[in-house]
Structure 1
Amino acid sequence: MSGITGMGTGTVTAVSSNGEYSFTKPNRDSITLLPGLGVAGDVHAGVTVKHRSRVAQDPTQPNLRQVHLIHRELFDEVAEQGFEVAPGQLGENVTTQGIDLLSLPTGTLLRIGAEAVVEVTGLRNPCLQIEGFQAGLLKQVVGRDEAGNVVRKAGIMSVVRAGGEIRRGDTITAELPEGPHRPLERV
């Protein structure tokens, strides 16, 4: 990935939340993470799953998608293919830069700002709403590698382990779990 310096540290470039079901999330000056729940005031916050399609399957599932993070570098990548995407427009809560989110193993702790800590649970599974947002964009954020494996690039999901306020410019530090590392899977 061009522009990503490494797995270990990065920066928050935007924070977003929305209290209503909507594909995009407006940028905010700051967001507050609540332990075990997610982003204060965000429609996806909660102990149990909040994503509509998952609620329909089983509303008692644990919410492994409390905080959605996307790397800013993805926007540059899709811009090369003619797509214009800004922070919050793909529904993420935290837009990052300089950290290779997609390469982090399951269970990685991300320390964001002074207090907040999220635990990485898996990859976001890009949905058809992305295609509705911009025709052709879904193909840019999900595809297949040379071996035919599905590659998902639309960010990662996490749960809040320690609460706190986060804002643009905050540092993100990754703490990898004890090995062996498990690669991220769709959640």
Structure 2
Amino acid sequence: AWAAPLEEYPLEGWDRVFALNVRGPFRLCQQAIAPMKRGGGGSIIQISSLSASFGASDEEQPIPAYNASKGALEALTRDLAVKLAPHGIRVNAIAPGPFDTDMLAHIKDDPETLARHDRQVPMGRPGQADDIKGVATFLASDAAAYVTGAILQVDGGVSSVYPVRKLP
């Protein structure tokens, strides 16, 4: 299970989420570094989450391993940015906010909950895959030649709003 209340969260689930969201990107970076050094540099783009920046109650988001793993990925991103900058390798992360993914599946069948969710996004809708495309293209391009260690939030403005808790 990737979602469960804190006291019930299985350690196996915690390990599985960290393997996917931290260990996997770490291993990919390890494999990419030597070829990038030989090639004179490059750009590594990690995919984090707005959830790395906020805590939430079990009622709001019962996904402690996911939130913690994305925070760890952002720390790894900043650490690699410092270590790899002398080699011309930039390391950044994109932190999507509410996107139309399987993580919203639990509210898609409830029009009232989905509408309430969308109203919390200043742009009035969840993000789509295309909303990430321009940011990733920018980070990979020479236009971002002086950008490293950045965590770019792509969230329809959610991170700019004073947080309003969704308590029962």
Q: Which has the higher helix share?
A: 2
Highest relative contact order (Cα 8 Å, sep 6+), 1 or 2? 1
Q: Under a length normalisation based on structure 2, what TM-score does the superposition of the two structures give? A: 0.33
Based on CA coordinates, which of the two structures has the bigger radius of gyration?
2
